[in-house]
């Protein structure tokens, strides 16, 4: 089967105050301690389910599939994946693509 890369946009559903009725959507949780000023996170959706590898960054996910990718993503040409990983996902410039189609990050001296 062909390996296909696709990118997905994640949807963050934000925060709510569970102590208000009806629940109040919070613009920010900055300064709240979640002890006296409660907040709950409503979750994030948009993750692909049938991937063989994925990496998340900046509200998006780049995923690799064996065959047909999940719906909702934008297919990324294999030739463009390495540049995207370096420029948009923060991989080191020396990253290469392995024979298995997965990125190989260079080892760094400790």
Over residues 48-63, the mean pLDDT reads 96
The two tokens of residue 51 are 């991937």
Question: pTM of this prediction?
Answer: 0.82
Contacts of 48 (CB under 8 A, 6+ apart): 6, 8, 54, 61, 63, 65, 69, 70, 72, 73
- The whole-chain average pLDDT of the chain stands at 93
Cα–Cα nearest to 57, from 66, 47, 67? 47
The two tokens of residue 63 are 């995923």
Contacts of 31 (CB under 8 A, 6+ apart): 37
Q: Which contiguous run of DSSP H or E holds residue 29?
A: none
Q: What are phi and psi of 61, to 5 degrees?
A: -130, 130
Longest dimension (CA), the chain: 55
pLDDT beyond 90 at 108: no
Predicted confidence at residue 2, as pLDDT, reads: 82
Report the relative pairing of strands 74-76 and 96-97 from DSSP bridges. Answer: unpaired
Q: Is the Cβ–Cβ distance between 77 and 11 less than 8 Å?
A: no
Predicted confidence at residue 106, as pLDDT, reads: 87
Predicted confidence at residue 98, as pLDDT, reads: 92
pLDDT beyond 70 at 60: yes
């Amino acid at each position: 089967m062909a390996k296909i890369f696709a990118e997905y946009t994640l949807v963050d559903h934000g925060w709510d105050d569970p102590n208000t009725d009806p629940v109040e959507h919070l613009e920010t949780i900055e300064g709240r301690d979640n002890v006296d000023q409660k907040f709950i996170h409503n979750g994030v959706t948009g993750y692909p389910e049938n991937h063989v590898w994925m990496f998340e960054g900046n509200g998006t996910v780049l995923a690799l599939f064996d065959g047909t990718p999940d719906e909702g993503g934008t297919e990324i040409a294999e030739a463009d994946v390495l540049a995207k990983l370096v420029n948009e996902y923060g991989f080191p410039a020396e990253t290469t693509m392995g024979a298995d189609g997965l990125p190989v990050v260079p080892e760094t001296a400790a």
